[in-house]
Amino acid sequence: MAPANGSIDARIHLQHRQPITAPHHGWLTSPARSHATSGQGKELPLQLIQLIISHLDNVADLARITRTSRLFYYMTLPRLYEEVTLRSYSDIRYVNGRPEGYGNGSPFAMGLNTLVSRTFGDYVQSFKVIGEWKEHDTEDYKQGRVPDNSMMLQVVMRAALDKMKNMKAFAWELNTKPLQTVYQGIMTKPSLTSLTLRCPTRRIPRPTTLIPPLPNLTTLIVYDIDPLCYPDDFSLVLMTSKRLENLKLHWNPRMRESGEESVNLMNYFGRCLAAGQQIPLKRMALYNLYARNTGEGFEKVTDPLVVEEVTIVNCMGSSDPMTVFLDDTWRIQVANHPIPQNLKMMRGDATDPEHVKMLYRFKGLERLYLISNVPRNSKPNSVAVSPTTPSTTTTPTVNGNSNNGTPISEHQCKSLAGDYLAVIQANHRTMRHLLLADRWQLSDDALYKLCQSCPNLEQLGFSSAVPPLESLREILTLVPKLWALRILIRPGSELAEKLDTMEIEMHMFALGTELWRPQYSGVKYVGLGDKYVFKLGEVMYPKGKTSVPAGQENSMNARRMGPMRRVTRVAREDVSHIEIWGMDTTEFEAKFP
């Protein structure tokens, strides 16, 4: 076997040795394990020690604790191996001038050896292999056999999987595909509930496997699907997984970029339709789908009474004349699609009248994220990335297209924005998170009516001209639960250029002297365009004062010497957990939020 160079992440980042007995600290000793001098300190029960250890997330800290004493070794080891990630690299990496694994094998190979030869597999609940596996003798595929080093990888992986009796999540994200040997290993895991697969992207002939049934599966993620690169068949899993709640499918962007009609949805969902089986999905996400809607009943695959969240990115749009013919089949068939009546979240990068009509057909939407048609680079190291949306040099579009090359009018753009606002105010007053398109500038009156109709708003992203401060304060009093506010600014606009010429300190001073007022007390984060995100802290009053005299709130002296809100600039990555920022991207992540 010629393993690729790699490294070990997550819970087994450090090599473990036999526990090293270190002097016990009185406050962390147990009555059953304490030594003769432990009576000098307070003794903690094992349950409390276990609670403290359960809050440790740093891998290095967990590894060091296992080497502290025999007691901590046995108490911490299950936490350390709870999540295991092995990362493989196609090239040798060097640390301090020496290759990783110097004097032994690569960290990837040594990690597999540990899992196979030791008894740690019983602790593993999540197992992931990721990276680039260096395949040798790939010409063997053309001769009808699997190269030896790839076959040996499958055998060792199967041996490691057989040791994991309690595995709940398995992710294969190597650039080479798993074979029947690996699938047979996970098929015997009744505890397995999550499966993530990365499909190959090279057109090398490979064995195609029908993935066996996994009846307890609740989450399935398959990405980089390309019908010409010999992906495995997961249609049987879709039909037999009666508990499947989360489904995320990502097709390689190559088909849409080249206008190649090679995806047939019946290859994935045909078994479900033939058996009359509906998948009980609650969350469904589709990326880069380029397939014809033949009207064979694809809309019947899911149960419209169960679906709660839908994400559609770079699918069914017609901005490119090369793809309009297939994409138009979805518009023609849209009238036959049943509308999910319990839908709570929608996310997508296309806006069109058909979407508005769909929103009119049900009520109770709580989260709506309209991804702006601007390339996002918030996660440049993501594993799979959707193709970028049209550049900012193109004419702003309605319905996701440019009317066959004809620039749209400003009236059309405003009309579509008005349609979205009208349906939200009429049918979806339960809205909590709302991210609108950055090309729709809302007037003060439109923003006032929107907040008046949706008093439960917690996160709001919108584009508008700079409103009078008095008007903004009045608007925010209508949404007392709002804590994240994002003012969208289209890149390249006059306002964006003006903000770029100002120093960051000026933005922070302007926000600090305005946001101290009681109307903004619940707001914790404010964003200006894509460039600036600010975290708001406590209100700071002048020395010896705790309030502002009545009638002097707007005076220039009060703005200079009066109270201020503490404002701190944070990076975009630091607010990725806040949906109006984290959901505003077309990039793909192999996980569910």
Q: What is the 3-state secondary structure (H, E, C) of 460-479?
A: EEEEECCCCHHHHHHHHCCC
Query: HEC string of 528-584?
Result: ECCCEEEEEEEEECCCCCCCCCCCCCCCHHHHHHCCEEEEEECCHHHHCCCHHHHCC
| Confidence tier at 407 by pLDDT (50, 70, 90) | very low
- Measure the CA dihedral 384/390/393/397, to 10°: -150
> Which residue in the block uniquely carries the two structure tokens 């679906």?
307
Cα(359)–Cα(343) distance, integer angstroms = 10
Closest CA to 4 of 111, 103, 81: 111
Q: What is the per-residue pLDDT for 311?
A: 95
In angstroms, the first-to-last Cα distance of the chain is: 38
Comparing CA positions, the residue from 139, 21, 6, 145 lying closest to residue 85 is 6
Q: 147-160, pLDDT tens digit by residue?
A: 999 999 999 999 99
Kindly state the average pLDDT of the residues 521-546.
Answer: 85
362/381 Cα distance (integer angstroms): 38
What is the spatial distance between Cα 309 and Cα 194, in angstroms, rounded to a whole number?
Answer: 18
pLDDT, position 11: 44
Residues 6+ apart with CB under 8 A from 140: 146, 147, 148
Ranges 268-282, 361-375, 545-559: which has the least confidence: 545-559
- In the block, tokens 């998170």 appear at 433
Q: What band does 467 get if pLDDT is binned at 50, 70 and 90?
A: low
pLDDT in tens, 415-431: 889 999 999 999 999 99
The per-residue pLDDT for 335 is 60
Query: Strand, coil or helix: what is 38?
Result: helix
Q: Residue 566's CB: how many other CB atoms inside 10 A?
A: 14
CA 557, 561, 566, 570 dihedral sign is positive
Could you say which DSSP state residue 72 is in? H
CA dihedral 391, 397, 401, 402 (to 10 degrees): -90
Token pair for residue 99? 């290759």
Whether 342 and 306 have beta carbons less than 8 Å apart is answered as yes
What does 351-417 look like in DSSP terms, one character per residue? Answer: --HHHHHHHHT-----EEEE--SS---S-TT-SB-PPPPPPTTSPP-BTTB-TTTPPPPHHHHHHHH
pLDDT in tens, 305-324: 999 999 999 987 666 666 77
CA pair distance 326, 331, nearest whole angstrom: 10
Give CB contacts under 8 A, 24+ apart, made by 537-545: 537/565, 537/566, 537/567, 537/568, 538/565, 538/566, 539/563, 539/564, 539/565, 539/566, 540/516, 540/564, 540/565, 540/566
Share of the chain above pLDDT 70, in %: 80
pLDDT in tens, 162-175: 999 999 999 999 99
Share of the chain above pLDDT 90, in %: 48
Orientation of helix 410-427 relative to helix 353-360, angle to 10°: 10
- Comparing 17 with 142, the larger pLDDT belongs to 142
DSSP β-ladder status, 126-131 and 98-99: unpaired
**pLDDT over 60 (residue 556):** no
Backbone angles phi, psi at 165, to 5 degrees: -75, -25
Say how far apart CA 257 and CA 274 lie, in whole Å. 32
| Beta strand pairing call for 484-488 and 459-464 | parallel
pLDDT at 550: 55
Specify the pLDDT at position 408: 40
Name residue, tokens 């579009």: 397
Mean pLDDT, rounded, of the chain: 82
Predicted local confidence at residue 341, as pLDDT:
82
State the sign of the Cα–Cα–Cα–Cα dihedral 573, 574, 577, 583: negative
Among 4-18, 96-110, 214-228, 244-258, which stretch is predicted with the lowest mean pLDDT? 4-18
